[in-house]
Structure formats: C-alpha cells, structure tokens
C-alpha cells in the first residue's frame, strides 16, 4: 500500500500560510486532509477554511513540533483510517520549528512520507525587519520551496536582494515569487524528499566523528521556542463601527506582531488580518466577532486593547 504523502507548510506569523491553504483547496481536485496548529485561544485559521470539501484536524493549545507531537500522530492516523486522503497538508503555527516535525513524520509515521516542506516568507516584512530570528531562520533552512510572498508590497528592485539573502541561508531550495501565495499547486507537490534528506538534518553532531556513516544514530533536534510571544482572544456579539475599528487597527502598538479574526460591522462580517503594522479587511460570512492578538509580552497591553475595542461597539 502506498504511503500517504505529507506536505508541511511553515513560515513566520502572518506570512501567508492560511492564504496558501485556501488557494490549494480552491485549485486542487485531490482528496486532501488538513492538519492545522494555531497559536491562540481561538482557532481562527480553521474557521477560515472550514465548510469546504476538506477534512480538518485541529491542534491547539501548544506547538505541533514539540508538546503536541503525540496528538499530531494520533490525528494523522485517524485521518488515514477514516477517510484515506490522497494527500495530507500540515500548516504549523508561525512559531513552530519544522525540524522536529520532519523527524517525527519520518520516524513515527511509517505509513506516511514527507513529500516536501514549503515555507512562506513575507517579502515586505523582510524589508522592514531585516534581522531574522532563530525560528524564522530554521523555517528558511528546512524548506524545499521558499515562497517569497507579498512581492507586490515592495519595490521591484528589492526582490533580487531578498532572494540573495534567502539563498545564503538555504542554497538548495527553489525560490518562487508570489502575490497572495498564488502558485501552481503542482509545483508544491511531488517533491519527494528522501529519508536521507531528513536524516541528514537531525544527526547528533557530537556523534558524527566517532561512528561510521552506516551506524549513525538519529536523534530529535534540539528545539527552542520564542517564549516572549503571548496571545489573547476577544469575542463579542455586538456590531462594531467600521471607522472606529479602522482607527483601532491603525493604532495597534508595536508589541502586537499578528492579529487575525472576524469583525462584525453593520453591513456584514469581515476577515481581519494584521501583520506588524499592515492590515486588511476581506468580506467573510461569520456571525459575531472573534479576534486573536499575538505579540511580544502583550499581556500588559490586553486591558487597554480590549477597552479600545469595546469603545467601537455600536
């Protein structure tokens, strides 16, 4: 029986991972199952794509690359047993480091194979904040395909230097320029990463000089989280003033790195996406307001942000 291919979608907060999922589901005819891991109390991304002809397994309350590995294995096994998809696509939280998950797929899920790792990278964010964090660097290093996304938000002359920067970190990945992650899904699938590719990334360095290649032992990679990130959720059944909310979005403090969710106005609900000072609204059918805020130690800002939101209630 052929093994079920798993495609891993990773990338920093707000880089376009869920947008890529929506594009895949809109253009692919395969029987696809989705495993989603979100950072926050409310699974916003799951609600964005639910209702389509797709089976979703939701993993919340932790990171799929470490504390939720057991739940991840169970979710994949249940999906294969119950619906036998042609393909599984895993979207990680923007704070996840992909190496541990790659290792787990290879070692703990023999009925599956890692087809490839796709990392979405926000070109505009990379221009405005050129210093890369530990996790972002690992997400770039571990990719087979790098989607240099949102190139429409930067100057044409800035694209090539960004590609050079990515190439210095990952000399082998294919780099594809995209707007809103629009890419031919055929380019994402069938990559066929070999077990040797995965194993070569997770061999314990201290053991390499003492044993022959055929005897090298595989060990889970070390994993370090960006512990300064926190999140909180806001919900309401009220209708909000659009002008007031837009002013609120424009005034979000620098500590808020990512915000997303649904906001209900008099003329209907909108999907709200905020990434480091840049935001957009998109019409979306939803009953109520549910927002998640993610940032660096934003617990201290929570009371002020909630108070400002309540002032926008009609």
Q: For residues 272-294, give the mean pLDDT.
A: 90
Asked if pLDDT for residue 201 goes beyond 60, the answer is: no
Mean pLDDT of the chain: 80
Cα–Cα distance measured from residue 85 to residue 105, given in angstroms and rounded to the nearest whole number? 16
Q: Angle at Cα 237 formed by Cα 259 and Cα 47, nearest 5°?
A: 50
CA 84 distance to own-chain centroid:
24
Highest mean pLDDT among 64-73, 164-173, 225-234: 164-173
Cα–Cα distance measured from residue 98 to residue 117, given in angstroms and rounded to the nearest whole number? 8
Which one is predicted more confidently, 245 or 231?
A: 245
8 Å CB contact between 148 and 118: no
pTM, whole model, 2 decimals?
Answer: 0.72
Q: What is the pLDDT of residues 1-28, one digit of tens each?
A: 688 999 999 999 889 998 998 898 888 8
Q: Give residue 42's pLDDT.
A: 56
Of the chain, the end-to-end C-alpha distance in Å amounts to 58
Asked if pLDDT for residue 198 goes beyond 70, the answer is: no
How big, in percent rounded to 5, are the helix, strand and coil portions of the chain?
35, 30, 35
The CB density around residue 70, as the number of other CB atoms within 10 Å, is 10
Q: Give residue 45's pLDDT.
A: 59
Q: What is the pLDDT of residues 62-89, one digit of tens each?
A: 444 444 456 778 888 888 888 888 888 9
Q: Give residue 175's pLDDT.
A: 92
pLDDT band with cut points at 50, 70 and 90 for residue 206? very low
pLDDT band with cut points at 50, 70 and 90 for residue 58? low
Q: Which domains does the chain have, with CATH numbers?
A: 4-215 (3.40.50.300), 229-310 (3.30.1220.10)
Asked if pLDDT for residue 50 goes beyond 80, the answer is: no
Q: Give residue 283's pLDDT.
A: 93
């Amino acid at each position: 029986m052929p093994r079920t291919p798993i495609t891993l979608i990773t990338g920093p907060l707000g880089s376009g991972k869920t947008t890529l999922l929506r594009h895949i589901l809109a253009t692919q005819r395969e029987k696809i199952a989705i495993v989603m891991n979100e950072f926050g109390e409310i699974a916003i991304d799951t609600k964005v794509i639910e209702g389509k002809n797709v089976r979703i397994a939701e993993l919340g309350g932790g990171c799929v690359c470490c504390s939720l590995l057991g739940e991840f294995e169970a979710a994949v096994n249940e999906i294969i047993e119950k619906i036998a998809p042609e393909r599984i696509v895993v979207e990680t939280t923007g704070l996840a480091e992909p190496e541990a998950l790659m290792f787990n797929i290879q070692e703990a899920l023999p009925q599956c194979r890692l087809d490839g790792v796709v990392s979405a990278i926000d070109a505009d964010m990379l221009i405005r904040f050129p210093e890369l964090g530990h996790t972002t660097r690992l997400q770039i290093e571990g990719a087979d395909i790098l989607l240099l996304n949102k190139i429409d938000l930067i100057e044409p002359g800035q694209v090539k230097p960004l590609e050079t920067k990515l190439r210095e970190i990952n000399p082998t990945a294919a780099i594809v320029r995209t707007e809103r992650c629009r890419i031919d899904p055929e380019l994402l699938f069938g990559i066929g990463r070999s077990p040797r590719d995965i194993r070569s990334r997770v061999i314990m360095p201290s053991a390499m000089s003492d044993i022959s290649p055929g005897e090298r032992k595989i060990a889970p990679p070390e994993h370090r989280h960006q512990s300064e990130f926190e999140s909180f959720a806001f919900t309401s059944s009220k209708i909000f003033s659009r002008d007031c909310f837009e002013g609120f979005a424009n005034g979000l403090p620098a500590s808020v790195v990512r915000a997303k969710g649904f906001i209900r106005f008099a003329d209907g609900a909108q999907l709200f996406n905020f990434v480091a000072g840049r935001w957009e609204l998109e019409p979306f059918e939803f009953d109520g307001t549910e927002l998640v805020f993610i940032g660096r130690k934003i617990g201290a800002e929570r009371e002020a942000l909630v108070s400002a939101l309540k002032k926008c209630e009609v």
